[in-house]
Amino acid sequence: MDKDKAKKRIEKLKKLIEKYRYAYHVLDKPLASDAVNDSLKHELQDLENKFPQFITPDSPTQRVGGEPLKQFQKVVHRAPMLSLTDNFSLKENLEWEKRNEKMLGRKPNSYFAEMKIDGLAVALHYQNGVFTQGLTRGDGKVGEDVTENLKTIESIPLHINADLSFEARGEVYMKNDVFNKLNKTYKKQGKPILANPRNGAAGSVRQLNPRLASERKLSFMGYDILINEKIINQNEELRLKIQNLKTHKDKHKLLKQLGFVVAEGKECKDLNEVQKFYESVDKKRDKLDFQIDGVWIGVDSNTDFEKLGVVGKAPRGAIAYKFPAQEKTTILKDIINQIGRTGRITPVAIMEPVNLAGTTVTRATLHNWEEIEKKDIRVGDTIIVRKAGDIIPEVVKSISELRSAQSKKLIAPKECPNCYKPLQKRKADQIDLYCLDTSCGQTKIKQLIHFVSKKAFDIDGLGRKIIEQLYSVGLVKDEADIFKLKQSDLAPLERFAEKSSQNIIDAIQRAKEITLARFIFSLGILHIGEVASSSIALDFSSGKKIIVPYEFCQAIKLRSQDEWMMIRDFGPEGARALYLYFQKPENAKKMIDLTKLGIKLKLPDKKLQTLKNKTFVLTGELETFTRETAENEIRLRGGLASSSISKDTDFLVVGKNPGSKLAKAQKLNAKIISEKELLKLFK
């Protein structure tokens, strides 16, 4: 290839790679697979190696090209990067509005609200459309030059298709899945793990070696733009947009047009609309693939924003409306040991009450005793406790600097706190301690609660407290006893009226016919969850539509562990656990007892297996079904319902406000369908 052809080819490749980058990062609509993208970049690299005279600073090949630095240079910001005042309630927002109303002589016409990314603020300088310099916020007046590290971030365009000089401001952040993968790798390699995604992003941007920063796979979202020069651009549409940047909303639109990813935002006519946006974001933040710590709220009019000015180091025209704290300190009062349905011992922290993520909590998990010893957590310590979404709070660490002389170090228990039998590890290399006595009361209660739970027999009215009560008075000692209950057994008990006791008996009778998949799940077999239970049911062969537990038990015994391992989504641990469960005499007796009590198992109809071996993942809010109902319908038709996207996913069903699964499914080329399309598949 001669020079002229090489130059033209290089330019075409650069434009196409940028087009793919914009579609993937900004529009969230990939136009090509990663393999195709990598192939184009490889060709570009080869051509630039042969014709180095055509290498430009904005080439995709120059994202990782800088040599390691000895230190970062300090640079004065062209305009201060201000911090924000934090608000935590609608009341505080209304007070902020009143102060601004006094200064403006009226209420602002509208507000703009957007997700506030929990990352590292940076400023990106572009000269004539080319990214030339990137700075950290620093102290707001002076930042550090981290240009080479910021170049490694794919969502930052190295060149925009406009002869424009400007400064884009935004947040560098680390996605949750990247953070989790990095920590798994670091743990295997014996390296220190990252504390959280924000620290991971900040530490990565300040790596002196750009190649190390590149390995962290960071992302960027823009939130503001400062036009440095009034350039009359040949692009008339862009020129008019620059001249008419009247609101923050306009800035968002321009940033997106220039090739930047921007956070989800909305123009709001008043603070009531802002509050609705805040609440909607709060509901879905645990489904996002990145961390946010609140909502940015600003006076939408640029003129009003400038007029309001600055107080201290914060603009008057904007605030950070923060979510309730998800991490706080409190005092550890005691550690108790809870027993799960498998006999696993979980140490639980008993704490001084603390308001966390909007709720008062007094307990938090400590995971296992090895973790307690590793973190040196003692009774009486000041501890950091964290809550994420609906997950049970966890103790992150102890603050040893605040430890008193009275702090008490506890050791791992040797006996079950309920039956006092010796605790053991299932395997020598395992961390968790177990009570392996099947007659242990607490283990049995947890098994019974699982047996009647929504995803198993789904017996309405039999919750945790009722099961504990029935067990304590001796009415229910095992699963079969539930189906022996009579209205006269329940009526005399505390909390039971005649009507409520009869309702429970009726619910028990209705539950006697159950799908095979739900029955298998109800047994609580180690390593056998919902997906594995569905796989077993689909693979089960019988000439009947309904069988009884004893028949199922006998048929299971005929198959070896190796045969069970042939089933999709079934590993060696699950196969072994399933095989051993039905070999035990007490479990065989349970199947006989349940059969005598009239339990019937509905097998999947082979004629209706229209979705056989197809894996579905659901994301967002469904209108016609609850998620659980939709997953059951999928399983009834031979499909597999999974909670996470993988290369085996065939369909992603998208409802309202989908989470990060959508982008991952697009990347893996899974078929994306709506709820209406799912309904058609059910017919």
Average pLDDT over residues 152-180: 90
241 carries an active-site annotation: no
Range with lowest mean pLDDT among 236-240, 385-389, 623-627: 236-240
Within 13 A of 644's CA, how many CA atoms are on the CB side? 5
Q: Which of 417, 437, 457 is the last residue of a domain?
A: 437
Q: Which is catalytic among the residues 14, 116, 251, 328? A: 116
Q: Kindly state the percentage of the chain with pLDDT values over 90.
A: 30
Whether residue 171 contacts residue 120, with contact meaning beta carbons closer than 8 Å, is answered with: yes
Residues 6+ apart with CB under 8 A from 298: 111, 112, 113, 248, 305, 315, 317, 318, 319
The distance of Cα 2 from the centroid of its chain, to the nearest Å, equals 51
> For 340-378, how does the pLDDT look when each residue is reduced to its tens digit (9 = 90+)?
888 888 899 999 998 876 678 899 988 889 889 988 999
Same domain, 171 and 313: yes
The burial class, CB within 10 Å (0-12 / 13-18 / 19+), for 431 is exposed
Cβ atoms of 301 and 110 closer than 8 Å: yes
- In this structure, is residue 70 part of a structural domain? no
Mean of pLDDT values over 47-73? 75
pLDDT tens, residue by residue, 514-568: 999 899 999 998 888 877 787 788 777 677 889 999 999 888 887 777 777 776 5
Which residues are bridge partners to 347 per DSSP?
Answer: 337
**What CATH number does residue 613 fall under?**
3.40.50.10190
419 is in an annotated binding site: yes
Residues 381 and 409: their CA atoms lie apart, in Å, by 10
User: Domain range holding 481?
Assistant: 441-511
Same domain assignment for residues 220 and 124:
yes
Distance, CA of 39 to CA of 59 (rounded, Å): 15
69 located within any domain: no
At 389 the pLDDT is 47
CATH code at position 565: 1.10.150.20
Is residue 68 situated within a structural domain? no
Q: Is 137 annotated as a binding residue?
A: yes
Handedness of CA 551, 553, 558, 559 (dihedral sign): positive
pLDDT score recorded for residue 240: 64
75: in domain: no
Shared-domain flag, residues 195 and 313: yes
In this predicted structure, the answer to whether residue 419 has a pLDDT above a threshold of 80 is yes
Are residue 207 and residue 280 in the same domain, yes or no? yes
Query: b/e for 603-621, b at 16 or more Cβ within 10 A?
Result: bbeeeeeebeebbbbbbbe
Distance CA 469, CA 296 (A): 49
Please report whether residue 593 resides in a domain.
yes
Distance CA 532, CA 538 (A): 10
Q: Are residues 550 and 409 in the same domain?
A: no
Reference 174, options 131, 205, 132; nearest CA is 205
Ligand-binding annotation for 440, yes or no, is yes
- Range 631-651 average pLDDT: 81
- Residues 140 and 248 both lie in one domain: yes
- Asked whether residue 144 is marked as a ligand-binding residue, the answer is no
Q: Consult the annotation and say whether 352 binds a ligand.
A: no
Q: Is residue 133 part of a domain?
A: yes
Is 114 annotated in some ligand binding site? Answer: yes
pLDDT value of residue 64:
61
Q: Are 262 and 144 part of one and the same domain?
A: yes
279 is in an annotated binding site: no
Whether 614 and 469 map to the same domain: the answer is no
User: Is it the case that residue 458 has pLDDT exceeding 60?
Assistant: yes
Check pLDDT > 60 for residue 68: no
Shared domain check, 119 and 12: no
Q: What CATH number corresponds to the domain at position 432?
A: 2.40.50.140
Q: What number is the average pLDDT over the span 653-658?
A: 83
**CA neighbours within 13 Å on the CB side: how many for 648?**
11
Residue 12 pLDDT greater than 90, yes or no: no
Mean pLDDT in the chain? 85
Q: Check residues 351 and 496 and name the one with the higher pLDDT.
A: 351
Residue that finishes a domain, picked among 465, 487, 511? 511
What pLDDT is stored for residue 236 in this prediction? 62
Statement to judge: residues 220 and 281 lie in one domain: yes
Structural element, H or E, at residue 320? strand 318-322
Q: The domain spanning residue 25 has which CATH number?
A: 1.10.287.610
CATH number at residue 158: 3.30.470.30
Over 90: is that where the pLDDT of 668 sits? no
Better pLDDT: 33 or 171: 171
Q: Given a cut of 80, is residue 218 above it in pLDDT?
A: yes
Given a contact cutoff of 8 angstroms between Cβ atoms, the answer to whether 612 and 652 are in contact is no
Give yes or no for residue 239 having a pLDDT over 90. Answer: no
Domains of the chain: total? 6
Is 523 annotated among the ligand-binding residues? no
Q: Are residues 492 and 574 in the same domain?
A: no
Q: Which of 322, 346, 381 is the last residue of a domain?
A: 322
pLDDT at position 229 over 60: no
Domain contains 613:
yes
How would you class 448 by CB atoms within 10 Å of its CB: exposed for 0-12, middle for 13-18, buried for 19 or more?
buried
Could you tell me if 92 and 232 lie in one domain?
Answer: yes
Residue 77 forms part of a structural domain: no
Identify the pLDDT of residue 540: 79
Angle, helices 248-257 vs 236-243, to 10°: value is 150
Alpha carbons 169 and 260: distance in angstroms, whole number: 10
Q: What are 306-317's pLDDT values in tens digits? A: 999 988 778 999
Tens of pLDDT, residues 574-606: 888 888 888 889 999 999 999 999 999 998 776
**Would you state the pLDDT for residue 391?**
59
Confidence label for 267 from pLDDT (cuts 50, 70 and 90): very high
